[in-house]
Amino acid sequence: MIFRLVKLYSLILFMICASVSIVAQHEGHVEDTHGDQGHSEKFVAGKYIFHHIADANEIHFFGNVSIPLPIILYTEGEGFDVFLSNLFQTKTGGYDTHYDMYAEGPRTGTGFVKLKGGKITAVDENKGVWDISITKSIFGMFCMLALVLFLMSKVARSYAKNPGKAPSGLTNFLEPLILFVVNDIAVPCLGKERADKFLPFLLTVFFFITASNFLGLIPFIGGFNITGTIGVTIVLATTVFIITTFKGNKHYWGHMFNPPGVPFIVKFLVVPIEISQIFIKPIVLMIRLTANISAGHIIILSFVSLIYIFSNQGEAVGTGVAVGVFSTLFMIFMYLLEFLFAFLQAYVFTLLAAIYFADATQEATH
C-alpha cells in the first residue's frame, strides 16, 4: 500500500512541479557564450556558469552537441503550435542565443520570437502567447518520475512474491534506504502510528530529491539542475506547507494563536511571530535546497572557468599547467563531495518535513 501511495505522490508532485517550472522557466535563462555566427567573444565566466545551471529548451552535452526539446505554444484565439526548439533561427540563419531568434508556428502560422533572455513571445505584440514548453528540468523530472515508479513497482512486486524472505537484487539495494527513511527519520520524529500516515510522502520526496541530485552529477548528459530550479523547490516546499497546515490539530493551532502561559499583553508580540513562522519554514526549505544544490555546481564550474580564463589571457605555460592541474584536482574533490551532498540534501529536506509534520500533529502533554 505504501509503495502504491509513493507512486501516486510521484505523479502528483511531477505534474505540479512541471506546471510551476513552465511558469518560472525563463527566469533563469542567460546568454550563451558560443554561437553559430562565426564570431569570437571573450570568455565570461558568469555567462558560462549560469548558462550551464539555468533551465533551457535544449539538453546540451558538449561543444555544439545538444538535443532540442519540444516547444509548445498556445496563441490566444489561434491555438497550439508544437515544434522543436532548433526551429528558432536568427535573422542571418543558425541557432545563437546571443541574438533574438525567430520561428513560424507550423500549424497557426504565427510568428514567434525567442528573446536573448529566453522568453518567447509573438512577433505581433497584440497576440497573447502561453509558453508551456518542455524544458530541461521538466524532461529531467520525466526521467525521475519513470525511475521512481520503476523502483517502487519493482520493490513492491519483490515483497509481494517473497513475503518474509530476505530481499535480493535491486530490492536488497533499496531496502536500507527505505528503512533509513522509516527508522531514522519518520519514526523518531513522528512515532510509529503517525509515521505510517506520512511515510508515502516522505519516501516520495526523499527518492525524488536524491535521484534528481544524482542525475545532475552524471557528466556529459545535459547538466541537469532539477532541484536547483526554483520552480521545483517551490512546489516541494509548498506541498510540505499544505500538509502541515491541513494536518495541524487543535493543540498546534491553539499554541499558534493562544500560546499557554504567556501574559496577555505579550501575546500581541508572540502570536504574529508564531504565525509568521508558518510561512518562513517552507521558504527556508525552498531556499536551502535550491541554494545548496546550485552552489555545488557553481563551485565546480568556477574552477573549470579558471582554465579558460588563464588560457585566454595568455599566461605562461607553467602557470597555465599549474592552474589546470589544481583546478582538475579540486573539481574531483568537489565532485566527490557533491555525491555526499546529493544524499545529504535529500535527507535534510525529508527530516525537516517530518519535524514540521510532527510539530503540527503532536498531542498536548499538559
Spacing of C-alpha 364 from chain mean position: 37
- Please state, in angstroms and rounded to a whole number, the distance separating the CA atoms of residues 178 and 106: 48
Is residue 96 helix, strand or coil?
coil
Contact between residue 43 and residue 310 where contact means Cβ atoms under 8 Å apart: no
Residue 134, C-alpha cell as written in the block: 518542455
Q: Is residue 66 part of a domain?
A: no
Is residue 121 helix, strand or coil?
strand
Q: Is residue 147 part of a domain?
A: yes
Q: Is residue 314 part of a domain?
A: yes
The pTM score is 0.77
If you average pLDDT over residues 133-149, what whole number do you get? 85
If you average pLDDT over residues 237-244, what whole number do you get? 91
Same domain for 118 and 150, yes or no, is no
Same domain for 227 and 255, yes or no, is yes
Same domain for 122 and 245, yes or no, is no
Which string of b and e fits 49-58 if b means at least 16 CB within 10 Å?
Answer: bbbbbbbbbb
Residue 168, C-alpha cell as written in the block: 535480493
Q: Is residue 11 part of a domain?
A: yes
Is residue 264 helix, strand or coil?
helix
Contact between residue 290 and residue 227 where contact means Cβ atoms under 8 Å apart: yes
Same domain for 163 and 188, yes or no, is yes
Give pLDDT tens digits for 83-103. 888 888 888 777 766 778 888
- Please state, in angstroms and rounded to a whole number, the distance separating the CA atoms of residues 58 and 68: 4
Same domain for 187 and 106, yes or no, is no
- Please state, in angstroms and rounded to a whole number, the distance separating the CA atoms of residues 187 and 192: 5
Nearest to residue 301, comparing CAs of 326, 332, 331, 333? 331
Contact between residue 285 and residue 353 where contact means Cβ atoms under 8 Å apart: yes
Q: Is residue 42 part of a domain?
A: no
Least confident window among 3-12, 54-63, 95-104: 3-12
- Please state, in angstroms and rounded to a whole number, the distance separating the CA atoms of residues 10 and 207: 9
Residue whose entry in the numeric block shows the C-alpha cell 563531495: 337
Which of 99, 133, 167 is a domain's end point?
A: 133
Same domain for 174 and 254, yes or no, is yes
Band (238; pLDDT cuts 50, 70, 90): very high
Residue whose entry in the numeric block shows the C-alpha cell 534506504: 177
Q: Which range marks the domain in which residue 265 is found?
A: 2-16+137-361
- Please state, in angstroms and rounded to a whole number, the distance separating the CA atoms of residues 294 and 210: 15
Q: What is the pLDDT of residue 50?
A: 65
Give pLDDT tens digits for 255-278. 788 877 778 788 788 888 888 888
Q: Is residue 109 part of a domain?
A: yes
Same domain for 150 and 245, yes or no, is yes
Same domain for 271 and 165, yes or no, is yes
Number of domains in the chain: 2
Same domain for 121 and 206, yes or no, is no
Q: Is residue 47 part of a domain?
A: no
If you average pLDDT over residues 302-325, what whole number do you get? 61
Give pLDDT tens digits for 151-165. 888 888 888 887 777
Give pLDDT tens digits for 204-228. 899 999 988 888 877 666 678 888 8
Range list of H helices, the chain: 2-24, 45-53, 136-161, 169-181, 187-215, 230-247, 250-257, 264-312, 317-361
Q: Is residue 350 part of a domain?
A: yes
Which of 133, 152, 173 is a domain's end point?
A: 133
Which of 65, 98, 133 is a domain's end point?
A: 133
Same domain for 266 and 346, yes or no, is yes
If you average pLDDT over residues 37-55, what whole number do you get? 61
Same domain for 105 and 242, yes or no, is no
Same domain for 212 and 345, yes or no, is yes
